[in-house]
């Protein structure tokens, strides 16, 4: 397979969660991904709305970092979450783009309870979060055929070979 560009990952978060999100940013970067973080990408004088929308649209995935602050905070973080959800709705069925990640134990928004989320706050959270740790690798394998069947085939190839298994029980989505 020809060399591919790094997977672009947009990190959506509340400013109060910046230290944890910065750690996640560094881990993703060290693992060969191209994470986007506002504090690194936005320069003085740039239009926040425009740059964030451009970056989110150019991303392969958006990791939405949830905490007790972000789920109850009004303002820009809510706007970013809604924008990421709107982009997800434009994707073909079965495409994983919007990835909710709890950076601390918190109540998830009701509208997102049907989506599997990761738990970054647990010991070994980065390695044990199936969606964060394994999905980006499967997205790298994605062929031009982005049908749900092709994506499932590619995911099964990665999941079948991967040594990482969850140590915590994952919530079953009904």
Q: Is the pLDDT of residue 51 over 80?
A: yes
- Give residue-wise pLDDT tens across range 71-82: 999 999 999 999
Could you tell me which residue, 134 or 66, shows the higher pLDDT? 66
Please tell me the distance from the alpha carbon of residue 29 to that of residue 2, in angstroms, as a whole number.
21
Packing angle, helices 48-58 and 76-90, rounded to 10: 30
CATH fold for domain 8-161: Rossmann fold (3.40.50)
Q: Are 41 and 55 in contact, with CB atoms under 8 Å apart?
A: yes
pLDDT at 96: 83
Of 125, 143, 130, the closest CA to residue 171 belongs to: 130
- Give residue-wise pLDDT tens across range 20-43: 999 989 988 988 889 999 999 999
Confidence of residue 89 (pLDDT cuts 50, 70, 90): very high
Domain definitions of the chain by residue range: 8-161
pTM equals 0.72
- The token pair that represents 150 in the structure block: 């092709």
Confidence of residue 139 (pLDDT cuts 50, 70, 90): low
Confidence of residue 134 (pLDDT cuts 50, 70, 90): low
Residue 166: count of CB within 10 angstroms of its CB: 15
Q: Is the pLDDT of residue 135 over 80?
A: no
* 169 Cβ neighbours under 8 A, 6+ residues apart: none
């Amino acid at each position: 397979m020809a060399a591919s560009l790094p997977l672009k990952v947009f990190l959506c978060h509340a400013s109060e969660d910046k230290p944890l999100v910065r750690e996640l940013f560094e881990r993703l970067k060290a693992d060969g991904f191209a994470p986007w973080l506002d504090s690194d990408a936005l320069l003085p004088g740039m239009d926040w709305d425009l740059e964030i929308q451009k970056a989110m649209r150019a991303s392969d995935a958006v990791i939405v970092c949830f905490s007790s602050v972000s789920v109850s905070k009004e303002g820009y973080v809510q706007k970013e979450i809604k924008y990421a959800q709107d982009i997800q709705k434009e994707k073909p069925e079965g495409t994983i783009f919007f990835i909710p990640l709890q950076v601390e134990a918190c109540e998830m928004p009701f509208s997102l309870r049907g989506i599997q989320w990761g738990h970054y706050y647990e010991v070994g959270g980065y390695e044990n979060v199936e969606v964060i740790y394994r999905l980006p690798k499967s997205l790298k394998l994605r062929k031009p055929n982005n049908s749900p069947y092709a994506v499932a085939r590619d995911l099964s190839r990665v999941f079948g070979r991967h040594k990482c298994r969850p140590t915590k029980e994952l919530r079953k989505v009904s």
